[in-house]
Each structure stands twice: as structure tokens, then as C-alpha cells.
Amino acid sequence: MTGASGHMNGAHFVTRTCLVFLLAFECSSLVQKLPDNASEKKSNIIFILTDDQDVTMKGMTPMVKAKKLIGDAGMIFSNMFTSTPLCCPSRSSILTGKYIHNHNAVNNTIEGRCSSPLWQNGPEKKTFATKLKEQNYTTFFAGKYLNQYGNKHSGGYQHIPPGWDWWTALLFNSVYYNYSLSVNGTLEKHGDDYHKDYLTDVINNRSMEFLELQNDDSPPFFMMISTPACHSPYEAAPQYLNNFTKESLPKDPSFNTHAKDKHWILRQAPTPMSNSSLQFVSDVFRKRWRTLLSVDDIVSNVFGALTRKGFLDTTYVIFSSDNGFHLGQFSLPNDKRQLYEFDIRVPLMIRGPGIKARSVNHKPVVNIDIMPTIVHLSGAQPPSDVDGTSLVPLLMSSSKSTAWREDFLVEYQGEYAPNGYKGCPHTEFLNTCYPNCVCEDGYNNTYACIRKITESVNTMFCQFSDSENFQEFYNLTADSHQMINIASQLQPGFLAELNDRLITLSVCHGAECRKLQPVHQIREL
């Protein structure tokens, strides 16, 4: 509901929601109880976040320990998405529970407000870290924060975001060697010695140091363990360099195919891909998997420590990624940033008190749901101004008819170089042209989409902000790989409805974004 009619008195809205939708979030969250053993003392919460880990190319395959310790012992969400397929905007949404049109970190640059002074003076002051500090949690962070963290224009390494007690953050983007950390505001430089410097292992060791200091008399703790894997430059630990040598890159129908009837960024990709590009994506695929083995070690060590310290039954553990990835789909060699399933689907597993083991939930959930979920698991009510919805009703409910959203927004603002990408054709306003000058981003790669999943509908509609006013629509029930754009076949009335809904989502805020659906419309798939 938008415009003046969308701004109702809060109490009236809750009452009306409860009466009409029965189990909508605003109603169910008022009565949703955490397990008794968690309510006696606040539960500990651990959030493990990977970087660029896909689902569609079997990106969870290397995570054998994580799957056993988290997924098999808790709930797996089979329809988990990012609301924007790029690191900094997605991480900003994860931290704040808001779509990018509300936190305004639109890309990975300072100019795009990634870890910028505007971000720091606004959204960064209202993250799950600040909310958990209000609940007297001890908070710990280790790893990659935001791509421009450490920039001299935003306070450099001395800046510690509010809400964090223990702070070990990578300056700038994911790497594995030769980097600097901000350790509670002090600069710590690392080189290329595996035993001292391999970043995933450094994060592992610092996490273990923190956990070993906790005891039964300690305040509840929250940990965010944010690994560089499986982001480029894809450098695995030495003991894993020979793993997966016989594994082949999964090749679905979209692999190395011409992007017919799709937006310009895809249409310009040469098809078939060059031999060098094919070799490149095959090598990257195996390298990405190898880097994830060290993340699996983190998960194993975390659970070992929780067991030794007696925290296993009082701790929630969340595992997810900031965005997906592609390697050769529609002949795009190596990136994310696109609207398709391979870039927006991500893993999500949650284990903890009251969550049934080996459970799978098929409802559509989004990265903006992580912040209110973490706050809710701490025993507090999620903030009223977030766009996401707490997953606690799904985690704790035995009912298969819990009301839930039927659609959500995916949005992205294209990143571009004002003078073009040097050395490549079609250089005006292009960015990320690699390898072989295949450009995967640009000013006209700006879009907003409705992704809809119900018992009977599985669709995606996208509107581009480009010179063509390009549109894409996919029926994923019949076309799961999004091969055929049928936007031109839509009836005018239906297209108008889609555009109206897209406009509503593109400007929504708070409760307007969280609008759920009646139980009789949304059920387990």
C-alpha cells in the first residue's frame, strides 16, 4: 500500500493485519516466543557470511561440515535471495535490513556511498550490531566489512562502526594475502606467509580466541565471521591446492549461449566464448571451491568451541552469502551484478534452539530479512523501520501455512567508468570488462525487478533504466534458466499491474515493504 493510504496508525495497522491475514508478521511477532531455554538467558548468535558464494553452480558442495553442522541440524531455506547482486550494497542491506533505495549504498565505490561519510552518519548507526549492544551483547567482527572500509575519506582504519566491541576488519575488498586490518582501530599489516597471513585462517584464529574467552558468566555474544572466500583472487590454502582437480564446471542450458532478447550488456557478449575464456571459467570454478574448504574449517572449529564451552544448545548459527555468481552463463565469463537466478540466489542455513533438525523451508526470503531475524533472536522486537521481515515465525512454527510475502524487490544501479574501459570496444560508460573485453557492467545495467514465488506462480519482471526502456519477464515454472524473455507477449493490463507493483516496491519503506499475504495464498511449495 503506497501514498497517503499507506500511512496508517501503527496500532490500527497491527489490528487490521491480524484480523485479515491472521499470521502476518506484525501480528505473529507480537506473540512469537523463543524457546524457554533461550528466554532464561539471551541466546548467543553467530553469523557466518561468505563472499560471492553461488547456489546454482553447486557452490555449497565444498561445505560438507557446514551442511552437516548447520543445515542438517537446523533449517535450510531453498529460496533465499539477495535484493541486489553486488557486495557492498548487499552487505549494507544485510546490516540494516533495508533495500538499497533506503540505505542508498548503491555500488562498491565511495561515490556510490559504500562505507562513505553519508553511510557512516546514517544507516551505519542502525545495524544489528547497534541493536544487539542495546541488548547488552558482546559483539565481535572479523573479516570483510564493506568494500571501501578503510578509505581515508571515511575515517581510514581508525573508524570503528558503532556497536562493535571486538573489531578486526579488512581494509577494502577481499584478498587472501598482502592486506591490512583494522584491529580495534589500530593498523595491522599482513604479507604472504601462509602460516601468519592467510586471511581466512586469520579470521578463524581470531574467532577461536574470542570464543575461548567466553564462559557461563559472560554476557551473551554475537559474532559476525565474514570470510573473503570465494571472492577473487581465488587463492586457496596450500593444503587444498590439489582438491577438485577432476571436478567440471556445471553447464546448464544458459552456459555459453547467446542472450537472445535480453538487455544490451548481455547482448554484447561474444558467443561462443573464446577458448581462453572457457579455460578461465573452468579454472576459476575449481579455485573458488578450494577457497571454501578453509571456510568449512571455520565452521568446524566454531562448533568444536561451542561444544567444549557448553554453548552448543544456546547458540544460533546463521550461514549465508552476500550474492551469487556466474561463470559463462549467457557467455558472461566472470562476475555477478545481473538479475538472473545465478547471481541473486544465495545459501541460507540456520541452526539453534527451537529449530527442527533437517527442516527445509521453501518460502521466498531475502538478505534484508537477516537483520530483523538476528534482532528477534536476541529477544528484542525488530525495528519498525526495517524493510525485511524476521524469519523467527518460519524457524519456530510447526505450521506449513504461516503467512509470508509472495514477492520482493531486486534492484541494482549500474557502475560505470566516465571515460570508458580502456582497451575494449564500445568503451562509453562501461566497467568491469574482463576477460577478453567482455563487459559485464555499465550505466545502462540499472534495473528494478519483482521476483514472485507462490504456490502457483514463479516469475520475474524487470524494468531497466536505459535508453531502450528495456523489459524482461520470465516464467520460471516453464523456463527455470530464464532462457526466453516473454515481456513482449504480456497483455497490456497485466503489464500495467506489474509496473504498478514495481513502482510500489521501488519506493517502499518499512511496513510497506513487509506486507505479507493471507495464509490461503502462500503455503509450503
> 204-212: long-range contacts at Cβ-Cβ below 8 A with a sequence spacing of 24 or more?
204/294, 204/297, 204/298, 204/301, 206/142, 206/168, 207/140, 207/142, 207/298, 207/301, 207/302, 208/301, 208/305, 210/140, 210/166, 211/302, 211/305, 211/306, 211/309, 212/305, 212/309
The dihedral sign for the CA sequence 318, 323, 328, 329? positive
The torsion angles phi and psi of 289, rounded to 5 degrees, stand at -60, -40
Give the position of cell 573452468: 282
Q: Which amino acid, 384?
A: S
Q: Which amino acid, 64?
A: V
Buried b (16+ CB within 10 A) or exposed e, 366-394: bbbbbbbbbbbbbeeebbeebbbbbbbbb
- CB contact set of 27 (below 8 Å; sequence gap of 6+): 14, 17, 18, 21
The reply to whether 439 belongs to the active site is no
Closest CA to 396 of 44, 41, 23: 23
Instruction: Please provide the DSSP assignment of 161-182 as one string.
Output: -TT-SEEEEESSS--SSSEEEE
Q: How far is CA 179 from CA 153, 170, 369, 417, in A?
A: 19, 7, 31, 25
Closest CA to 49 of 167, 174, 181: 174
* Distance between CA atoms of residues 27 and 13, nearest Å: 10
The dihedral sign for the CA sequence 277, 283, 285, 287? negative
Q: Do the beta carbons of residue 144 and residue 51 sit within 8 Å?
A: yes
Instruction: Please provide the DSSP assignment of 309-322 as one string.
Output: HT-GGGEEEEEEES
CB count within 10 Å of CB 337 equals 25
The torsion angles phi and psi of 99, rounded to 5 degrees, stand at -65, 160
The dihedral sign for the CA sequence 41, 184, 367, 132? positive
Q: Do the beta carbons of residue 67 and residue 83 sit within 8 Å?
A: no
List the catalytic residue out of 87, 114, 230, 508.
87
CB count within 10 Å of CB 197 equals 16
Residue numbers annotated as active site: 87
